[in-house]
Chains A and B, each alone.
Chain A
Amino acid sequence: MAPSGSLAGQVPELGGVPSADSSGDEVFFPTRASYVSLATALRRVGFITCSDLCAVDYLTHADRPLPAGVQPARFEVVVNLLSHAEARRVRLRVMVPEDDPVCPTLFSVYPGTENMEREAYDLMGIRFTGHPDPSRILMPEDWEGHPLRRDYGVGRVPVQFKEAPGPR
């Protein structure tokens, strides 16, 4: 899908935000502080739906390619916004450091992120400040740990007559 025009012209908040072209998708790398205001600005120009929000753990792949000016962190919150009028997608990737896995909530801009942020908290352990219902959603309430983190093993079921394989 070819972008129909430069977003930076329509959205002054995008000035100075590092960006990249990822297999034809527009990707921006806002900081945690500017992320909500950037999303608000994008919403103003037609990106009225947040189609997806998820978290990624780059523990085993910290040296990924990033544009200049982006300090890599262990976690990323990845948000896919959709403009129906332009039939266009924009992706935001927000760096979230390991020692402070906290990110402001997008709930006040896109209420549809409620379940998705709960899922990101549940499975990846990123807390969203200001989220109205910061509970686990898929795992049981008393579950320990956040299973989608790369340092959380998958576990194995012991099988009779088969020696348990070593850790991968």
Chain B
Amino acid sequence: MNDEHPGELRGDDQATPDPIGGASLRLAAETGEGSQELAPADETSLVELAIEQGGVLRLPESDALDPDAADATFGAGETMILNIGPQHPSTHGVLRMMVELQGETVLRSKPVVGYLHTGMEKTGEELTYVQGATNVTRMDYLSPLHNELVYSLAVEKLLAVEIPPRATWIRMLMCELNRISSHIMWAATNGMDLASTTMMIFGLRERDLVLQFFEKVTGLRMNHNYIRPGGVAADLPDGWEDDVAVVVDTIGARLKDYDELLTGQPIFRERTEGVGVVSAELLLALSATGPILRAAGVPWDLRRSMPYLAYEEVDFDVIVGTSGDCFDRYAVRLNEVRESIRIVRQILEKMPSGDYRSEDKKVTPPARARINESMEALIHHFKLFTRGIEPPEGEVYVAVESPRGELGCYLVSDGSNRPMRMHIRAPSFANLQAVPAMLRDGLIADLIAILSSVDPVLGDVDR
């Protein structure tokens, strides 16, 4: 590894003013706690074995894990450990799965992550609050607007700044369109994983409609940096109502094609019904959120339960499944697209007029035209982009419902123009913990279907 990361790139060599003597030495000594891979069963501690077997079923009644209850009876030699990934077309990025098989049955499994880790939380500490949105938008690349939203909401909570209603509604419009594109992209890859390449083409085609609208509004198809602390970067372009109406009308009509192609199709149902079943109690204990939790019957959607933006003012249903299998996860997402379309139609009717960002000159830059005529505006502009926002000391946690579940941002400010700590609670990172429980005792052939149904985005997992 030292060859790949030459010494001059490594931070600890450069930390010349070492505020605490000998810290670097101790850091080195604390390294190397254990292997990340799935070890053979006889080399694994019983507690760890119990987790990997899905034995985490610590329901409210039973507080402690009983290692004796772990089924570790299968002997060495009868099983094999198979490595899948990190380069595998069906693992949705660079996810590596290690599974222990007995014949075709999965006994234990472990997701090994980190192949896409780019230290974005560390980068977030180096960027000013104004620059921060460009960083977080690159985390979950299928729902960039939600990342920007949660970061902006956290900064605004630190600043205690109010944003105008139109900015709130524009944010809501963009986020719901993003949810549509993310879920449809999921349906496309899920179809591809289950050998329905038609679904992949359908999904990519519909997602492109949304991305084209995003390009018109934000200038980019991904990594928008559109939702910023204080509001949004620009107002919606002229004629946006017609564009949005075309997008939702087209997608709404084409959802029928999906039903025809997949929902009632016997092969698809055979491959998803009763596969990867997991109980709501286990998912709650494992911190899982989003469609996989709702598919197990828990009506928990932050848009409804702990409303943010203006979700209290629109009508929509929280879609809930019953059995918590792959098919329910599919059905929940497909119907959430319909609900998002419903929300978008209401936004089209109710969009208020007014400013698209806060008028607070310490938070948002002045209008471009004002810079030419007002010295004060020029100073504000200059100060904002050189010095930036300086929120008061404090720490906040804000969460929104991203297409994958609870997306949280924990932001610590020390009063300077950069966050002292910027932590993103990534929904995919938590949801991945439920995968071993879903795979347990299933067939290896179902592994891809189950993995796909969880919808992990590795940019979100590894950050």
Comparing B32-40, B100-108, B138-146, B346-354, the segment that makes contact with chain A is: B32-40
Closest to B410 in A: A54
Give the residues in chain A near B298, CB-CB below 8 Å.
84
Comparing B72-80, B194-202, B285-293, B337-345, the segment that makes contact with chain A is: B285-293
A57 beta carbon closer than 8 Å to chain B: yes
Interface band, chain A:
35 or more
With the chains together, A54 CA to B423 CA distance in Å? Answer: 7
With the chains together, A20 CA to B10 CA distance in Å? Answer: 38
Q: A22-B394, A52-B425, A59-B19 are in contact. Are A133 and B60 (CB under 8 A)?
A: no
Question: Is there an interface contact between A154 and B27, defined as CB atoms closer than 8 Å?
Answer: no
Q: A142-B1, A155-B11 are in contact. Are A115 and B433 (CB under 8 A)?
A: yes
B265 beta carbon closer than 8 Å to chain A: no
Q: How far is the CB of A41 from chain B (nearest CB, A)?
A: 11
Interface of A is mostly: loop
Give the residues in chain A near B65, CB-CB below 8 Å.
108
A70 beta carbon closer than 8 Å to chain B: no
Q: A140-B1, A141-B36 are in contact. Are A152 and B19 (CB under 8 A)?
A: no
Specify which of B11, B35, B432 is in contact with A141 (CB 8 Å cutoff). B35
Interface residues of A in 25-60 (CB under 8 A from B): 25, 40, 43-44, 48-52, 54, 56-60
Task: State the interface size on chain B (CB cutoff 8 A).
Answer: 76
A-B contact count (CB 8 A): 196
A112 beta carbon closer than 8 Å to chain B: yes
Give the residues in chain A near B63, CB-CB below 8 Å.
40, 108-109
Give the residues in chain A near B60, CB-CB below 8 Å.
43-44, 48
Q: How far is the CB of A58 from chain B (nearest CB, A)?
A: 8
Closest to B45 in A: A132
Specify which of B19, B20, B408 is in contact with A52 (CB 8 Å cutoff). B408
Q: How far is the CB of B402 from chain A (nearest CB, A)?
A: 13
Question: Is there an interface contact between B397 and A133, defined as CB atoms closer than 8 Å?
Answer: no
Comparing B117-125, B313-321, B380-388, the segment that makes contact with chain A is: B117-125
Q: A113-B287, A145-B28 are in contact. Are A52 and B397 (CB under 8 A)?
A: yes
Question: Is there an interface contact between A57 and B396, defined as CB atoms closer than 8 Å?
Answer: no
With the chains together, A42 CA to B56 CA distance in Å? Answer: 19
* Interface residues as binary, A110-124 with B (CB distance below 8 Å gives 1, 0 otherwise): 111111100101010
Which 8 pairs across A and B sit closest by C-beta, in order of nearness?
A112-B287, A153-B11, A135-B34, A61-B414, A145-B27, A52-B425, A111-B56, A138-B117
